[in-house]
Amino acid sequence: MPRGGATIATIAREVGVSVPTVSRVLNGRSDVAPATRRRVEEALARHDYRKPVGPASPTKTAGLLDLVFHEFGSSWAQEIIVGVEKAAAPRRVGVVLSELGGSHRPPQEWIDSITARGTRGVLLVLSRLDDTQQRQLMARSIPFVVLDTDGETPAGVPTVGSNNWSGGLAATRHLIELGHRRVAIISGPENVLCSRARVDGFRSAHTEIGLDVDPSLVRWGTFEVEGGYEHGLELLRRSDRPTAVFAGSDVQALGFIRAAHELGLRVPEDVSVVGYDDLPLASWLAPSLTTVRQPLAEMAALATQMLIALSDGEPLASQKVELGTELIIRESTAPPA
C-alpha cells in the first residue's frame, strides 16, 4: 500500500480545523460535527493518508480481531468461525463477531466503534466494503483481509479464496463420466465471482467432450437451502428433467434432495446430486453427499494468520492465496437409470 506523505497537521491546515479534530475523526470519536467530519475524511482520502503505526498499545489492541460476516445465517459460518478460532487462540487473540450492514450495524458507525475500541484488524467474509470504507480502514492503519470474494477485490487487498473454477470442472466431469448428458447447475448469485467461476468450470467440462449446455439448465440463485429446493422442484417437474445436478453448496443440495423426495424421485437412482463445501453434514446424510470439498476452516485459519502478521507489521509472502478444491465421491451420484 503506497503511503501518502501527509501528516495530520497537513490535513488540519488544509481543512481549516485543529489537529485534535482530525485526530478525533481518526480515533472514531463521535464529538465531531458531521460536516467537519466529512471534510476531514475527504482530505484524508485526497492525501491517501496513513496513520503512522507506533508501538502496539497492548491494553487496547493486543487482544482482538474483528470477524465480519455479511450474514451469520450463512450455512458455512460455523466452519469459518472454527478456523478463525483455531488460528487466533494460540496467539491469545479474541474474536469479535460482526454482521455488517442491516439497520443495526451501519458501516460508518461500525468503523468508528472498532477504531475507538482498538482492533488488530478486520477479517471480511463475503462482505463488501466500498472504496470509501476501505480508505477509512487504511487511513486508520487497520489491516484487513478478505476471505473468499464476492467481487473483484482491489489490488493490494490481501485475499484468501479457493479455486471455484476447478471445483466446477471436477464436479461436472464426474457426472459426465458417469454417463449423464443432461446435467443442471444451481449456482449462487450471478454477480458473485465465485458463482460465475463455477458455472464456467461446468461449461468447460461440457465443451471438452463437445457437449452443448442447455441454457435452461443453468440456474442462478442463493447458496441457501431454499434455492436448491425451489430450483429442484422446477427442474424435476419438467418432462425433459436433468438426470443430475451440481449444486452451489451442500445445503442447496439438501434442498434439492428434499424436492426430489417430495416428487417421489430417489437419489441417486433417479437423479444424481453433487454438492459444494463438504460441510460435516455431507458425510452423514443418507445417502451421503458427493461434494466438492472447499477447505473453509483452513482458509479461515490462513486468513487469520495473515491478518495477525499484518497487525504485527510483518510482510505477507503473498497478497492473494487460493487453496485447492477436491471432489469427494460418496453415495449421491451414480450412472443414469
Q: Among 118, 127, 124, 69, which residue's Cα sits nearest to residue 94?
A: 118
**3 state SS of 249:** coil
Interacting residue with a second copy among 2, 31, 104, 131 (CB under 8 A): 104
Those residues whose C-beta lies under 8 Å from the C-beta of residue 250, and which sit 6 or more positions away, are 75, 275, 276, 277, 278, 279, 281, 282, 289, 291
CA separation for the pair 203, 196 (Å, rounded): 10
In DSSP notation, 259-328 reads HHHHTT--TTTT-EEEEEE--HHHHHSSSPPEEEE--HHHHHHHHHHHHHHHHTTPPPS-SEEEE--EEE
CA separation for the pair 307, 178 (Å, rounded): 43
Contact between 78 and a second copy by CB under 8 A: the answer reads yes
**Judged by CB under 8 A, how many residues of this single chain contact a second copy?**
44
Contact between 73 and a second copy by CB under 8 A: the answer reads yes
Tell me the three cell numbers of residue 32: 465531531
* Piece of the chain touching a second copy by CB under 8 A; list 69-77, 148-156, 174-182, 201-209: 69-77
Contact between 258 and a second copy by CB under 8 A: the answer reads yes
* Piece of the chain touching a second copy by CB under 8 A; list 121-129, 162-170, 233-241, 252-260: 252-260
CB atoms within 10 A of CB 50: 17
* Contact letters for a second copy, residues 29-68 (x by CB under 8 A): ------------------------------x---xx--x-
* Contact letters for a second copy, residues 276-305 (x by CB under 8 A): ----xx--xxxxx-----------------
Strand-pairing partners, residue 125, are 69, 147
CB 52 to a second copy: min, Å = 21
* Contact letters for a second copy, residues 115-154 (x by CB under 8 A): -xx-------------------------------------
Instruction: Write out the binding residues for a second copy, residues 226-245 only, by CB under 8 A.
Output: 229
When the beta carbons of 77 and 199 are compared against a second copy, the nearer one is 77
CA separation for the pair 248, 84 (Å, rounded): 23
The contact set with a second copy (CB under 8 A) reads 59, 63-64, 67, 72-73, 77-78, 81-82, 85, 89-90, 92, 94-99, 102, 104-105, 109, 113, 116-117, 225, 229, 251, 254-255, 257-258, 260-262, 280-281, 284-288
